[in-house]
């Protein structure tokens, strides 16, 4: 049985391996300063950060991090789902689906007009999930 709940300060030790696994998946190497800032902003909800964790009997198995932000097309807020990760051991039991549904609940609570996220074209497991909880748009992402 997997439970979804907001992240809290006592989760730091259990959250770190999930954060590391997620960053390794993207070959990203955050500095300690970035990791520290991310965790604390997720816990205190500052800068629009919002974090959920998935917990089973053995501890934390997944995370979802979102950022609520203002936008020019609304007087309200939009929700960017930035990070989603489930440990290899925790996969295939519905944890990621529950994490997304948890973000939806919070986004609805805050009246977010849009919830959006990115993934890589070839991330088949993630896209299979996303196709069942949302829809792909025709936008492509640019950056410099």
Ligand X SMILES: CC(C)(COP(=O)(O)OP(=O)(O)OC[C@H]1O[C@@H](n2cnc3c(N)ncnc32)[C@H](O)[C@@H]1OP(=O)(O)O)[C@@H](O)C(=O)NCCC(=O)NCCS
Q: Which residues bind ligand X (CB under 6 A)?
A: 25, 84-86, 91-97, 119, 123-126, 128-129, 132
What is the torsional sign of CA 38, 41, 45, 46? negative
- Of 37, 100, 111, 118, residue with least CA distance to 68: 111
Give me the least distance between CB of 50 and ligand X, in Å please: 17
Give me the least distance between CB of 72 and ligand X, in Å please: 25
C-beta closer to ligand X: residue 79 or 129? 129
Q: Are 129 and 97 in contact (CB under 8 A)?
A: yes
- Cα(32)–Cα(30) distance, integer angstroms: 7
- Cα(42)–Cα(47) distance, integer angstroms: 9
- Residue 132 main-chain phi, psi, to 5 deg: -95, -10
Give me the least distance between CB of 37 and ligand X, in Å please: 21
Give me the least distance between CB of 117 and ligand X, in Å please: 7
C-beta closer to ligand X: residue 33 or 135? 135
Q: Are 52 and 25 in contact (CB under 8 A)?
A: no
Instruction: Show the tokens assigned to 32.
Output: 């300690």
C-beta closer to ligand X: residue 43 or 129? 129
C-beta closer to ligand X: residue 9 or 131? 131
C-beta closer to ligand X: residue 99 or 112? 99
Give me the least distance between CB of 41 and ligand X, in Å please: 20
């Amino acid at each position: 049985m997997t439970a979804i709940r907001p992240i809290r300060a006592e989760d730091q030790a259990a959250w770190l391996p999930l954060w590391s696994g997620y960053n390794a998946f993207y070959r990203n190497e955050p500095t300690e300063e970035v990791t520290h800032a991310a965790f604390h902003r997720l816990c205190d909800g500052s800068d629009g950060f919002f974090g959920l964790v998935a917990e089973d009997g053995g501890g934390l198995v997944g995370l979802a991090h979102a950022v609520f932000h203002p936008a020019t097309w609304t007087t309200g807020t939009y929700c960017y789902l930035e990070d989603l990760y489930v440990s290899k051991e925790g996969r295939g039991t519905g944890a990621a689906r529950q994490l997304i549904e948890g973000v939806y609940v919070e986004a609805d609570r805050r009246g977010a007009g849009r919830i959006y996220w990115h993934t890589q074209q070839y991330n088949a497991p993630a896209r299979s999930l996303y196709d069942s909880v949302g829809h792909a748009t025709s936008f492509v992402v640019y950056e410099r």
